[in-house]
Chains A and B, each alone.
Chain A
Amino acid sequence: MYDVAQIRRDFPILSREVNGKPLVYLDNGASAQKPQVVIDAITRGYAEEYANVHRGLHYLSNLATEKYEGVRDVIARFLGAPDPQEIVYTTGTTMGINLVAYGWAMPNLQAGDEIVLSVMEHHANIVPWHFLRERMGVTIKWVDVDSTGYLNPQKVIDAIGPKTRLIAITHLSNVLGTVVDVKTICHAARERGVATLVDGSQGAVHMPVDVADIGCDFYAITGHKLYGPSASGAIYIRRERMDQMQPFMGGGDMIREVHKDSITWNDPPMKFEAGTPGIVQQIGLGVALDYMMGLGMENIAAHETRLRDYARARLDGLNWISVQGTTPDKAAIFSFTMDGAAHAHDLSTILDKKGVAVRAGQHCTGPLMEHMGLTATCRASFGLYNTEAEVDSLVDALELAHDLFG
């Protein structure tokens, strides 16, 4: 039994008001709220269990190290990774993808090699590849989505040529809600010796993930969208790819020995984790993932599917709203525009006055916006604690906006 009323009580911020109205938080795609257990873990981490990790031999350092390192097991379980040593800590997906760009792609690709991206990638999965295009002469090949936002996996596979070295693709579009069949893509790529990176920023939040089943080489997640602390995160890196990587950032912890004229690296994953990390953030992420797994990823997905169906039906009832992304199995993420002259920022301003938090703008997806011929949309993105009553609040606020701008 998925008791959403009970779950909402786990998130203290959900009981606050905004602009004199109960908060209706529908900006989960940008960042999710935190349950009390995560907040408590952060407080306890600093109040009772804090020291630097991997350094001191004293009690607190050992305790913090044990807690911090233990999160690797939690993340491996969350992602279905066979070995916790294939989990590299990051500050989020952006850092994870940059690690792959600098640590794997730069030493292994050369001018003329190709990277395949879908047109609906987030800038975090575009800009690092532009670096390679600008600095090394690597070519980016784009695969379009159709008018419903569907990405045909065969079109991605067909884009693989003799020069293709990497396919970097989202698991779930942050704008359209499209779920990508990454398993089909990754298996076909593996057969052809092409590396695969899956941007799991959104995907891991809304459905069970099993990287072994998907068959990807890299799977990046970001903690703050997973109900965990900001600047926490991880990337799964398949062992064979890890062996092909050079360190990305240099500093403490990632080395074994440093001399004036030589250096030896620490073993992976620490080889890729330079400097004092976000210790407490990462411990908080472990608690957040345990919280999600405690609810059950299947149960969360089922709840959000119900929300999606209800939201889709209600938004379909507003004939002056156009929703972008209409694949039948999409996630509960709704980008929309209002017919007429109102800008997405106009809409979000009125929704905000009614306590409804949505995002308006390009959503860090310039190429997708160009593809859709839009400059901005509003986006309502649902999470594990949202309710059908909140869908109603969204629709009521939209009706007011329509009345005001109409």
Chain B
Amino acid sequence: MAQQAFEDVVEDFEFLDDWEDRYRMVIEMGKAMEPLPDALKVPATKVEGCASQVWLHPRIADGTFHFEGDSDALIVRGLIAVLLRLYDGLPVSEVPRVDARAELARLGLTEALSAQRSNGLRAMIERIRTEAANAA
């Protein structure tokens, strides 16, 4: 079990039986996500290794991991919104224990991880883990 915010997403996705609807949901989640302020779109928050532009801004307070993110691509924004449900609010020490690949597979989004290396999802997850490890 992941945290509740992600379990809610899993529940929403259970009713979607084709890829079009799953992508539609991801895109909607991205559109609904608060954009990262331009002031935070700086080299320090930029995630390299992505085909589109991606930014992650972690905030760690009282041992809890928070982050905001953004991208200029809608699908990637949506994937950030999914990662937000997966990681945001976790105790820092638990971040590395999340098996992102397995959790995303529950949404039927594994190909977003495997086939599309270049969309930067891997790089984002790697960045989240590194930031959490540095704070721990």
Contact = CB atoms under 8 A, between A and B. Distances in A.
A404 B73 CA distance: 13
A70 B23 CA distance: 52
A287 interface: no
Contacts of A375: 53, 72
A353 interface: yes
Contact of A346 (B19, B74, B118): B74
Contacts of B24: 404
Nearest to B119: A345
A346 B75 CA distance: 6
Contacts of A14: none
Given A349-B119, A405-B27, A341 B20 contact: no
A350 B116 CA distance: 12
Nearest to B28: A404
A342 B23 CA distance: 13
A278 interface: no
B115 to A, nearest CB: 8
A349 B75 contact: yes
Contacts of A346: 73-76
Contact of A342 (B19, B20, B53, B74): B74
Which of A353, A375, A404 counts the most B-chain CB atoms under 10 A from its CB? Answer: A404
Interface residues of B, number: 17
Contact of B52 (A343, A350, A353): A343
Contacts of A400: 20
Nearest to B74: A346
A360 B27 contact: no
A361 interface: yes
Contacts, number: 39
Interface string A377-406: 000000000000000000000001000110
A360 B73 CA distance: 12
A368 B25 CA distance: 35
Identify the interface centre among A341, A343, A350, A375: most chain B CB within 10 Å of its CB: A343
A345 B27 contact: no
B15 to A, nearest CB: 18
A391 B69 CA distance: 37
B105 interface: no
A245 to B, nearest CB: 39
B116 A349 contact: yes
Interface string A333-354: 0000000011101100110010
Given A349-B116, A353-B19, A360-B51, A343 B73 contact: yes
Contacts of B27: 404-405
Q: Could you say which of A361, A375, A405 has the most chain B C-beta atoms within 10 Å of its C-beta?
A: A405
Interface of B: 19-20, 23-24, 27, 51-53, 71-76, 116, 118-119
22 contacts: A342-B73, A342-B74, A343-B52, A343-B71, A343-B74, A343-B76, A345-B73, A345-B75, A345-B76, A345-B118, A345-B119, A349-B75, A350-B23, A353-B19, A353-B20, A353-B23, A360-B51, A375-B72, A376-B52, A400-B20, A404-B20, A404-B27
3 A-B pairs closest in CB distance = A343-B73, A346-B74, A345-B73
Given A343-B71, A345-B76, A361-B51, 8 more contacts: A342-B73, A345-B75, A345-B118, A345-B119, A346-B76, A404-B24, A404-B27, A405-B74
